[in-house]
Amino acid sequence: MMQQNKAQLNQFINDMEATIRKYAMESEILQRAKPLLEELLRSPDSMPQESFKPRKDRFANNLIYMPSDKIFSVIGGVFLPGQATPIHDHLTWALIGIYEGMERESYYRRIDDGSNPKVAVIKKAGERINKKGHVTVLGKDGIHRIENVSDKPSLSVHVYGLDIGNTQRNAYNPVTGEIGNFVSGYDSV
């Protein structure tokens, strides 16, 4: 990666951190953070190659940056052809930007009252094909699934409002309603 491009990534991280530390409300953070990620995605070669190491067994979550107080994390996501996430939540806000390739993203919403922590009734609320430069914005209640439906790897930059790799989250079975818990962890960078 050229020095100028490394500077672009560092500037993005610095701007994200300043935004998160300045604004407390999720809506304020997301409104200001989305253009920062869009700008990073427009910069050719702005991400180091090691941010996008794939895994053959499942999609990869490569940790790019997290401050010592873990108030946010930046991940390099890699989906090989056919790889997908389960239907899941993040329990925090999220920005997901397509750096290269394309992904099908399906959105869901919970339609029960949320009173049973082990069962949920979810309904598909929409679907779209996200291509290079697109940024998805999800609030803390967002539920989605990502799948690479192309014949090439999909590379994406994910920003979360906490240490996402060490957070117990929920995976949803749309048929049985069962809610499973998982911790995604990080793959090495």
For residue 75, what is the enclosing H or E element? strand 73-79
Q: Is residue 57 part of a domain?
A: yes
**How is residue 122 written in tokens?**
């979810």
Q: Is residue 41 part of a domain?
A: no
Q: Is residue 173 part of a domain?
A: yes
What is the domain count for the chain?
Answer: 1
> Residues 81, 136: contact at Cβ < 8 Å?
no
Enclosing domain of residue 137: 47-182
Could you read off the pLDDT of 98-124 as tens digits, one per residue? 999 999 999 999 999 999 999 999 999
Q: Is residue 132 part of a domain?
A: yes
Residue type present at position 68: S
End-to-end Cα separation, the chain, in angstroms: 15
Across the beta sheet with 73-79, what order do the strands follow? 60-65, 73-79, 154-160, 94-100, 135-138
Q: Is residue 8 part of a domain?
A: no
Measured distance CA(136)–CA(93) in Å, rounded: 11
**How is residue 8 written in tokens?**
């672009």
Q: Is residue 86 part of a domain?
A: yes
pTM above 0.75, yes or no: yes
Q: Is residue 99 part of a domain?
A: yes
Q: Is residue 35 part of a domain?
A: no
**Cα dihedral 128→180→60→127 (10° resolution):** 0
Could you read off the pLDDT of 7-20 as tens digits, one per residue? 899 999 999 999 99
Q: pLDDT below 50 — which residues of the chain?
A: 1-2
What CATH number corresponds to the domain at position 75? 2.60.120.10
Q: Which of 71, 58, 60 is nearest to 21 (CA)?
A: 71
Measured distance CA(72)–CA(70) in Å, rounded: 5
Query: How far, in whole angstroms, is CA 106 from its chain's centroid?
Result: 13
